[in-house]
Amino acid sequence: MTHLGHVHLKVRDVERAVGFYSDCFDLAVEERVGRYAFLTFGEHHHDLALQGVGEDAPNPSSGVGLYHTAFELDDGTALRALYESLQERGIAVSPVDHGISKALYFEDPSGNGVEAYIDTRADHEGAWEGVNERFDPTAL
């Protein structure tokens, strides 16, 4: 069986990134080695690798490359709680209802794109039809 092993992100400040991803997604630090931190949901050594590249590192490219890292949450309550937490931190969030999912799009402290979503395919026909509408996460 094949599965995605992990996502490796370059970040400006490893400590700040560890705090962000731990707080937002309940990831735990499995290992620290120099400027690297390896975070896990618990089943694998790491699901997310963070590499500190320094405060002066250039912003992520808007060209070819990773668009965002996505985290599927358990339910609407979890998505609403994350939205409220991000609002308290002053992080800009774009809530988008795709019909098959409800998603929050935002950036981590280093400018890397992040999506947090709940799968709503069971409430629909299961096929994405290009729907991208705003929704109110506090109504979940």
CA distance 39 to 26: 9
Shared domain check, 87 and 48: no
The reply to whether 61 falls in a domain is no
Predicted confidence at residue 45, as pLDDT, reads 96
Q: Is residue 62 part of a domain?
A: no
Do residue 42 and residue 83 come from a single domain? no
Q: Of 128, 139, 3, 9, which is closest to residue 68 (Cα–Cα)?
A: 9
Domain count, the chain: 2
pTM as predicted: 0.92
Sequence letter at residue 7: V
Tell me: the pLDDT tens digits for 91-114? Answer: 999 999 999 999 999 999 999 999
- 49-83 residue pLDDT tens: 999 999 999 888 778 888 999 999 999 999 999 99
SS3 assignment for the chain: CCCCCCEEEEECCHHHHHHHHHHHHCCEEEEEECCEEEEECCCCCCCEEEEECCCCCCCCCCCCCCCCEEEECCCHHHHHHHHHHHHHCCCCCEEEECCCEEEEEEECCCCCEEEEEEECHHHCCCCCCCCCEECCHHHC
Q: Report CA-CA distances (Å) from 40 to 36, 37, 97.
A: 13, 10, 28
Q: What is the CATH number of the domain that holds 22?
A: 3.10.180.10
Q: Are 50 and 71 in the same domain?
A: no
**Which of 30, 54, 78 is where one domain is finished?**
54
Residue 60 lies in a domain: no
- Residues 79, 113: one domain? yes
Q: Is residue 90 part of a domain?
A: yes
What pLDDT is recorded for position 137?
A: 98
- What is residue 124's predicted lDDT score, i.e. its pLDDT? 75
Give the pLDDT confidence score for residue 130 in this predicted structure: 86
| Domain with 2 in it | 1-54
pLDDT the model gives residue 6 = 96
140 domain-assigned: no
Q: What confidence category does residue 128 fall into, taking pLDDT thresholds of 50, 70 and 90? A: confident
